Structure 1
Amino acid sequence: MTFAAAIQDLQPSPASPVSPVDLKETARQLDAAYQGLPIEALLEDAVHKLFPGKIALLSSFGTEAAVVLHYLAQVDKSVPVLFLETGKHFMETLMYRDILIDRFGFTDAREIKPDAADLAAQDPNGDLWSKDPNACCRIRKVLPLDRAMQPFDAWFTGRKRFQASTRQAIPLFEASAEGKIKVNPLAYWTPDMIQDAFKRFKLPQHPLFGEGYASIGCQPCTRRVEAGEDARAGRWAGKDKTECGIHLDFQI
């Protein structure tokens, strides 16, 4: 049986939900099959063979986002590109998003916003980030993404192992708690590989990259990174938090 057929067999129905064990096994098989292959081959197969019409790219349009966007645009510009518009982003990030979408020619760019009722009930003053950042991320990122991902079976991320100690074991393919497959095509890339791609393809950098921001999320919860720190050390600095919540289900 092909991986595509195996994945199709695992699709949920009202009477037969996906088995987490089966989904994890499928992810493990895919991860093993694609080790060592070029990113172009991985993206091509994921889009056209494994998850045809059922995969999207979630992009933060952060400091390294242009790399996976560039490679995906070479494969299929119609793949939906999802952006979680939390209402708390740097203006520079919103500008950068528009620049990259225009440059690469993606035809289905979707702005995913939090539910207005959730904001009114849980964050009426817009300061939940300072009181309970996990709850803020949940209503502004986790729940909106869950809704946006309902039509899809899989999604691309831009995560890499070098970004933080908590990401050092990221595979190419993994199963999520929501019954989706997450594809991490840049998992094994190094900082030098990322910067080489920026130079080779003449990709524009995020406007804040040169100001010391190595990883960029929402403005209130992001600071510059100091020398010797992890790339994500500037995210939720001083708080017991390293992820927004959309990747907390990661298991190798």
Structure 2
Amino acid sequence: MQIDTLSPDIVARPQETPAGQDAVARQLNERFADASPQEILEAAIHELFPGHIALVSSFGAESALLLHFLAEVDRSVPILFLDTGKHFDETLMYRDILAGRFNFQDMRAIEPDLAAIAQHDPHGKLWETNPDLCCQLRKVDPLQRALGPFDAWITGRKRYQSRARAALPTFEYLDGRIKVNPLARFTAADIEAAFKQFKLPQHPLYYDGFKSIGCKPCTLRVADGDDARAGRWAGTDKTECGIHR
């Protein structure tokens, strides 16, 4: 992590240890406790981690809002899309729609290692028998490789999405990097209002009952009143793909 770029009013030079980086995350959360998503993005991109931060987008049900805020701040920030080979066609279409709307300068499709897929999932059915390994091969490992040049990355997670995310901070430290969650405090009502305010296009599957959209084999419609992510890996005890722990 390029800690020298951190603002001196946060900390002069944090320790290159997990405890030191956790302390940085805590101080950032205090500093930006009442900040807007645009203010958080502006600071993270131009002050804290200039040239060393990326945004990871699934181009799922709520992705347009974070991308809208990013476009207001800096269209040159790299956008990483985990192209697992298992997405809905509608997701790939939505990605292209949003890319055209916001005209980002650096969009990267991150694909799994073909040799690893050939070894562990030659028939493309690993999701049925070992969804954790499937996610590891198609999401976790490719993302770790793609994040190599970056000291921080931006996610679109929110506290309201599931019980597991209820205490999500705006800044967190994990695996040697700071993760930035500019929409952590947003509620479902906030998201809906923002989509209307900014006239953002919705994912084609959203109005068909898909409130959180991942890979096609592991995503179901969500019943009214359920967590937004209840349709992800339904029928298993799995709630996250592994890139967020």
SS in 2 for 1:169: coil
Letter in 2 for 1:224: R
Which residue number corresponds to residue 240 of structure 2? Answer: 243
Tell whether 2:3 aligns with 1:21: no
Identity of aligned residues (%): 58
Give SS of 1:229's match: coil
* Offset at residue 146 of structure 1 (A): 0.2
2:165 maps to which of 164, 167, 170? 167
Who is 1:3 aligned against? 6
What whole-Å deviation, never above 9, does each CA across 1:103-130 have from its counterpart, x for those lacking one? Answer: 0110100000000111011111110000
Are 2:184 and 1:187 equivalent residues in the alignment? Answer: yes
Structure 1 ranges of 4+ moved more than 3 A = 1-11
Equivalent residue number for residue 197 of structure 2: 200
Report the residue type matching 1:165 in the other structure. R
**Which residue does the alignment assign to 2:103?**
105
Structure 2, unpaired ranges of 5+: none
Conserved 8 A contact 1:4-1:51: no
What letter corresponds to residue 44 of structure 1 in structure 2? E
**Matched AA of 2:120:** Q
Change (3 A) 1:244 1:57: same
Counterpart of 2:56?
58
Q: How many residues align?
A: 241
Cα deviation 1:152-206 (Å, max 9, x = unaligned) = 0000000000000110000000001x20000000000011110111111110000
Q: Is the 8 A contact 2:5 2:50 kept in 1?
A: no
Q: Is the contact between residue 114 and residue 139 of structure 1 (CA under 8 Å) also seen in structure 2?
A: yes
Q: CA deviation at 1:4?
A: 3.6
Aligned residue in 2 for 1:151: 149
Structure 1 gaps of 5+ residues are 12-17
Q: Call closer, same or farther: CA 1:138–1:150 in 2, change over 3 Å.
A: same
1:149/1:10 Cα in 2 relative to 1: closer, same or farther (>3 Å)?
farther
Partner residue, 1:218? 215
2:78 alignment partner in structure 1: 80
* Residue 3 (structure 1) shift: 3.4
Distance of 1:43 and 1:192 partners within structure 2: 21
CA drift of 1:143 comes to: 0.3
Distance in 1, Cα, partners of 2:5 & 2:154: 20
The one-letter amino acid of 1:136's match is C
C-alpha separation between the residues in 1 aligned to 2:193 and 2:226? 21
TM-score by length of structure 2 reads: 0.95
Calculate the TM-score normalised by the size of structure 1: 0.92
- Alpha carbons 2:5, 2:47 under 8 Å: kept: no
Relative to 1, partners in 2 of residues 1:8 and 1:83: Cα closer, same or farther, differing over 3 Å? farther
